[in-house]
Copies of this chain bind each other. A is one copy, B any other.
Amino acid sequence: MRPTGVGESPVRVACIQFEPRVGEKEENLRRVLKLAQEAADKGAELILLPELSNTGYVFESRREAYELSEEVPHGETVEEWAELTKSRGIYLIGGVAERDGSALYNTSVLLGPTGYLGKYRKLHLWDREKLFFEPGDLGLPVFQTTLGRLAMGICYDLWFPETIRIYSLKGADIVLMPTNWVCIRDKVEEGRLVEALCVAQAHMNGVFIAAADRVGVERGQSFLGRSVVVSPRGRILAGPASYEGEETIYADLNLTDSRLKKMRTSLNHIIHDRRIDVYSPLLGYEGPHSAGKEPFQS
């Protein structure tokens, strides 16, 4: 039984699913500002954009990625986003290509009514991202805001159970995930997989998960769409959005529902029931079977 009613901490979340164009930073920025204004007009206080929403995704070279990158928070994109969130009194999370000296990061930025609040650098780089970006070096930060405790992950981070588990242990209410889910062969099968990942990770960890994906085909690479918002019980609250269309999905969340890790009318508690005594020696295990030494791993 929920001790207090729905509506304690109501927040309208919007996931903006759209199609950035690779290399067209000005146009991407303009489009995001327009779509975010529209979402704010509809009452959204927490707006989520896809991964690398200002640059596009399929870089031809590290040089191209570098030229499209900018500093955070002192780059054009984040400064424009900050103007928006300050003028509208909202929060916005979106992906950018971040430059730090000569290093590049696949970064998600958090902005609020006071402007820039923080950033997250993608820990798990997908495929050719490994050629362009550095692995994230800022850990898994949880940001205390007036809405609640916000955390960020990017795309492939969702494939790692540790990501959401650690955020849950650190008290995150919602994990906001800018993504560029690629479609490899079968959009229906792969759409079903990412939905299962969002549902299972939210449910196992008792946190909200919101994912904003991009759509379209870029230099031969198509993307999945299927942006989604899931409750701490694993219930789908918005989406999955379409596979190919630009659309914004909305969900009204009581963010503090994430703090009830106890299953109602039972002796279960999904965090207290963990067996850390058993896990501790094993979770960092790097034995023969985990180290790529199998005959089938070539």
Contacts and interface: CB of A to CB of B under 8 A. Distances in A.
Interface of A: 2-4, 123-128, 130-131, 135-136, 139-140, 149, 156, 159-162, 164-166, 168-171, 189, 192-193, 195-197, 199-201, 203-205, 234-235, 256-257, 259-263, 266-276, 278-280, 282-292, 294-298
Contacts of A276: 284, 286
Contacts of A266: 126-127
A65 to B, nearest CB: 16
Contacts of A169: 282-283, 285-287, 289-290
Contacts of A159: 203-204, 270
A161 B297 contact: no
A189 B203 CA distance: 12
Question: Which 7 interchain pairs have the tightest Cβ spacing?
Answer: A171-B289, A161-B161, A200-B200, A259-B294, A196-B199, A196-B196, A259-B296
Given A131-B267, A193-B200, A269-B297, 17 more contacts: A125-B273, A127-B263, A161-B161, A161-B204, A166-B278, A166-B282, A166-B283, A170-B282, A193-B234, A195-B196, A196-B200, A196-B203, A197-B203, A200-B200, A256-B296, A261-B297, A279-B283
A166 B292 contact: no
A271 B160 CA distance: 9
